Amino acid sequence: MNDDNRIPVRVWDLPTRLFHWALVLLVTASLVTGEFDSILGATTVEWHKRSGLAILALLVFRLLWGFAGGTHARFANFLRGPATVIDYAKGVASGRADGEPAGHNPLGGWSVVAMLSALAVQVATGLFLVDEDYGFEGPLARYASSAVADFLGEVHEANYGVIGALVALHLAAIAWYTVVKRQELVRAMVTGTKRLAPGAEESRGGGLATAAAIAIAAGAAVWWLLGRS
């Protein structure tokens, strides 16, 4: 369709956009403080802990927002079955995948789940970490034996590579869709709108009051967790 026929369509609600960019900043901070703590100094590990707990609050928020958020933020809207995902992947590989979905495409939807899952593993294992070199203990370290803490520490370390690979894949996909498919994904996540064919489904629901309530609940859950340490 000619670009002149496209119209602005509200796709991403404000809470989803704020979550996305906050997560970008916090994951970057966690990767830097986790990988370069020996260079940045001993206090870096405390900032690593804080960014990890903030990510935990964001993940709790996103899980709940996946059911109560705007149309295209809901898991039910963008998670598709294996057959649909495979057909879409074949279409992309053969150049047959045309059209631009309002929200996530079938591959993009599951990439969101993969990233959230990898981050969930990272923060969950981080809660039990013990770093004797820096005298650091995660909020729940006292509840794990030395052997369990060591194992979770190894998972935490190895999972850096998984997150790094997912981030690289995410950036590559954005570049491909931007350059090859001419889809303004980054701009849409900033402004909340895409220029789409008439009739595309606009985002509905997921009001700011609901988002605020969920954010408060997520923050309270993390605060309670800290109180248990």
Short-list 68, 97, 73, CA closest to 189? 73
- Spatial neighbors of 42 by CB under 8 A, at least 6 apart, are 134
Tokens of 26: 């916090």
Q: Can you give the residue ranges of every domain in the chain?
A: 3-228
What pLDDT does 4 receive? 65
CATH entry, 3-228, from 3.10.580.10, 1.20.140.10, 1.20.950.20, 3.40.50.300: 1.20.950.20
What pLDDT does 228 receive? 61
What pLDDT does 196 receive? 87
Q: How far apart are CA 10 and CA 23, in angstroms?
A: 22
Whether the CA torsion 92, 97, 99, 101 is positive or negative: it is negative
Give the residues of the chain that fall short of pLDDT 70.
1-4, 37-38, 40-42, 97-99, 133-135, 228-229
Helix, strand, coil content of the chain in percent (nearest 5): 70, 5, 25
Query: Which residue is associated with the tokens 């969930």?
Result: 120
